[in-house]
């Protein structure tokens, strides 16, 4: 991912109250309830959104089931599904500015970032899986005896998807694109903080020709709508991205209901390791981006920054200059590189971590406070002298808080890097190829970046070791999440 700080002038969108999408119809919730979605840069309400609960989930799942069983989505040619997905990608591209603006408004990310990072990855993801639609085929298998044996990759069925607020459009694409390509039907519950862009893409999906009932969007809260989807007896699979403890609830709900298939993309506390032989300027740039991008609200944030003691002071000095140049402000303003956190709740949670860092004896070099005025802003914060046992070094902060730790050699930093219950991502900065290979092979993480950070591509899988999740999204691997393998034996020559 790369972000830029220049952008076309786009007005803040004016948004009317939003309904939910069930079976191709925009409707109120059964209860008639609405909830507010808020602009985190101002704290003001953008609009109200229909609030789904169990009854709405039941209706949406019934619609998805009907659409799955009666077609035409699951029964049309795979090539035709692919063509429709390409159309959806084209429509998203055509509406890129409006979608980016809606995302910035609801989430608080700088508009320039939404345009440079989020939207291109979203479009690429739909195109990538459009291409897979007619290529996900089974095998013929040379079994013993007079049998013809083959496998089919069939859609898993009705899919429930629960996504977070940090990359609403991108998480929707990661969930929808492979599910659509394989012929599934789905019910999405977007995060309550950021429901708007999901609803906007659902409108485009209809325009692209995705039949009614294939995608249903039920905004609402986790313990109500989310839990109802998780424990629904007629949902075949649940895909979730969010907090680890929520992931545990999802798995439990799936287990206690109908053993629906589960994929989880959860948090991280990713070690980012800078050796003294690295290009220090590159390492500073990449480490800055790897932590502060998206206001630090990234599951793969490089939030344990291990710097070899020999270059520690030099690295810190350069990093501080970079951090001081950060421009915080309204996501729609030119040149802004840091917007607000997504909500007051997240801001307070992050401030709690900053307080604990101070209390546990880390050195606060920069930031650490909240600016005066409206919005959920936090100053870009840097701690040095961080030790592995401190809370800020153990738990996911999900904010603009950089923790710098010192190390002496590769074996030590590998051991310390792996000493965490997460295993989502890691990075290593060095010009020594042997060191790069040793460290990347030995770190227990789903993705390792060498001399780079936050590189993503729809073709390459992403997911976590250990408590960072279950399964992989993106790439060919993600097709497995949305398919069942059927084995057929046919007797020959009888
Ligand atoms: P969360 O896990 O509660 O929310 C993510 C999604 O799960 C939302 O759509 C929410 O409505 C839903 N959800 C919540 N409780 C649920 C339940 N019982 N059943 C079904 N669905 C449920 O995360 P939250 O509270 O917004 O953020 C807390 C922390 O989680 C963050 O500070 C961060 O550390 C982590 N997080 C990690 C993300 C990632 O990308 N891995 C994304 C968002 C949060
Ligand atoms: Mg929560």
pLDDT for the residue numbered 11: 84
Active site residue 299: yes
Q: Reduced to 3 states, what is the DSSP secondary structure of residue 427?
A: strand
pLDDT for 153 equals 97
CA 164 – ligand 2 centroid, Å? 9
What's the pLDDT tens digit per position in 165-224?
A: 999 999 999 999 999 999 999 999 999 999 999 999 999 999 999 999 999 999 999 999
Closest among 276, 272, 330 to 301, alpha carbons compared: 272
* Contact indicator for 239, 481 with CB cutoff of 8 Å: yes
* Euclidean distance between CA atoms 221 and 189, whole angstroms: 8
- The pLDDT value recorded for residue 341 is 98
The predicted structure's pLDDT at residue 8: 66
Distance CA 301, CA 167 (A): 13
- Give the mean model confidence (pLDDT) for residues 430-456: 98
* CA distance readout (Å), 420 to 136, 268, 359, 389, 393: 36, 9, 21, 10, 9
* Residue from 222, 229, 232, 262 to probe ligand 1 pocket by mutation (most atoms less than 8 Å from CB): 222
pTM value is 0.97
User: For ligand 1, what atom is nearest to the CA of residue 165?
Assistant: 43
Compute φ and ψ for 234, nearest 5 degrees.
-115, 15
For residue 72, whether the previous peptide bond is cis, meaning omega lies within 30 degrees of 0, is yes
Spell out which residues line ligand 1, taking CB within 6 angstroms.
Answer: 162-164, 166, 189, 191-192, 221-223, 226-227, 230, 241-243, 246, 249-250, 265-267, 299, 346, 349, 396, 398
CB 314 within 8 A of CB 277: no
Query: Phi and psi dihedrals of 305, rounded to 5?
Result: -95, 100
Taking 90 as the threshold, does the pLDDT of residue 256 lie above it? yes
Residue 10, C-beta contacts closer than 8 angstroms, at least 6 positions apart: 97, 100, 101, 111, 332
1 band by pLDDT with thresholds 50, 70 and 90: low
The residue whose CA has the least distance to atom 25 of ligand 1 is: 243
Closest CA to 193 of 230, 159, 215, 222: 222
Residue 428, both tokens: 């290593």
Ligand 2: centre distance to CA 344 (Å): 13
Residue 26 has pLDDT above 90, yes or no: yes
**Measured from the CA of 247, which atom of ligand 1 is nearest?**
2
The catalytically annotated residue of 51, 299, 300, 473 is 299
Is the previous residue joined to 116 through a cis bond, with omega within 30 degrees of 0? no
pLDDT in tens, 275-311: 999 999 999 999 999 999 999 999 999 999 999 999 9
Segment holding 349, helix H or strand E: helix 344-359
Cα of 212 vs centre of ligand 1, distance in Å, is 28
Gap between the Cα atoms of 408 and 351, Å rounded: 31
CB half-sphere exposure, 283, CA atoms < 13 A: 26
pLDDT band at 368 (very low <50, low <70, confident <90, very high): very high
Report the pLDDT value the prediction gives residue 362, as an integer from 0 to 100. Answer: 98
- Asked if residue 362 lies in contact with residue 384, where contact means CB atoms within 8 angstroms, the answer is yes
Q: Residue 335: left if φ>0, alpha if ψ -120 to 50, beta else—which one? A: left
Would you say 307 and 274 are in contact if contact means Cβ atoms under 8 Å apart? yes
What's the confidence (pLDDT) of residue 211?
Answer: 98
H/E element, 485: strand 483-491
How many percent of the chain have pLDDT more than 90? 97
CA gap 189, 244 in Å, rounded: 18
Write out the two tokens for 215: 């995608």
Instruction: Give yes or no: 149 in active site.
Output: no
Angle, helices 78-94/196-208, rounded to nearest 10 degrees: 130
Please report the pLDDT score of residue 9 as a whole number: 72
pLDDT at 3: 52
What pLDDT is recorded for position 7?
61
Is the pLDDT at 6 greater than 80, yes or no? no
Q: Give the pLDDT confidence score for residue 74 in this predicted structure.
A: 85
Distance CA 349, CA 399 (A): 9
Q: Give residue 57's Cα distance to chain centre.
A: 23
DSSP annotation of 222 reads I
Say if CB 280 and CB 311 are below 8 A apart: yes
- Strands 34-39 and 44-50 turn out to be antiparallel
């Amino acid at each position: 991912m790369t972000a830029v700080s220049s952008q076309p002038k786009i007005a803040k969108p004016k948004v009317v109250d939003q309904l939910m999408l069930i079976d191709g119809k925009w409707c109120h919730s059964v209860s008639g309830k609405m909830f507010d979605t808020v602009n985190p840069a101002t704290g003001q309400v953008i609009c109200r959104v229909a609030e789904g609960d169990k009854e709405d989930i039941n209706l949406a799942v019934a619609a998805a089931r009907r659409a799955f069983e009666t077609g035409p989505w699951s029964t049309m040619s795979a090539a035709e599904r692919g063509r429709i997905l390409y159309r959806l990608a084209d429509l998203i591209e055509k509406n890129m500015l409006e979608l980016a603006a809606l995302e910035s408004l609801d989430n608080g990310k700088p508009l320039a970032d939404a345009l440079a990072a989020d939207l291109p990855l979203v479009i690429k993801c739909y195109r990538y899986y459009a291409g897979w639609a007619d290529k996900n085929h089974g095998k013929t298998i040379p079994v013993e005896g007079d049998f013809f044996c083959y496998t089919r990759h069939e859609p898993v069925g009705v899919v429930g998807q629960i996504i977070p607020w940090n990359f609403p459009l991108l998480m929707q694409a990661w969930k929808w694109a492979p599910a659509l390509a394989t012929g599934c039907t789905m019910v999405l519950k977007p995060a309550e903080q950021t429901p708007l862009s999901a609803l906007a893409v659902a409108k485009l999906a209809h325009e692209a020709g995705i039949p009614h009932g294939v995608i249903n969007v039920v905004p609402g809260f986790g313990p109500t709508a989310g839990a109802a989807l998780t424990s629904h007896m007629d949902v075949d699979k649940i895909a979730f991205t969010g907090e680890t403890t929520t992931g545990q609830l999802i798995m439990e709900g799936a287990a206690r209901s109908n053993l629906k298939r589960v994929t989880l993309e959860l948090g991280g506390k990713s070690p980012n390791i800078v050796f003294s032989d690295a290009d220090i300027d590159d390492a500073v740039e990449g480490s800055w981006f790897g932590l502060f991008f998206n206001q630090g609200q990234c599951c793969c944030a490089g939030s344990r920054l291990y710097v070899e003691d020999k270059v520690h002071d030099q690295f810190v000095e350069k990093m501080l200059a970079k951090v001081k140049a950060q421009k915080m402000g309204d996501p729609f303003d030119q040149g802004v590189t840091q917007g607000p956190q997504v909500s007051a709740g997240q801001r307070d949670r992050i401030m709690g971590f900053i307080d604990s860092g101070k209390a546990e004896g880390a050195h606060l070099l920069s930031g650490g406070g909240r600016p005066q005025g409206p919005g959920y802003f936090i100053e870009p914060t840097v701690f040095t002298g961080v030790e592995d046992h401190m809370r800020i070094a153990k738990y996911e902060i999900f904010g603009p808080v950089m923790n710098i730790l010192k190390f002496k050699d590769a074996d030590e930093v590998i051991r310390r890097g792996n000493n965490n219950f997460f295993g989502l991502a890691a990075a290593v900065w060095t010009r020594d190829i042997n060191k790069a290979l040793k460290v990347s092979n030995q770190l227990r993480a789903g993705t390792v970046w060498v001399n780079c950070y936050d590189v993503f591509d729809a073709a390459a899988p992403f997911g976590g070791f250990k408590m960072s999740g279950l399964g992989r999204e993106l790439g060919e691997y993600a097709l497995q999440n949305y398919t069942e393998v059927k084995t057929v034996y046919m007797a020959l020559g009888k």
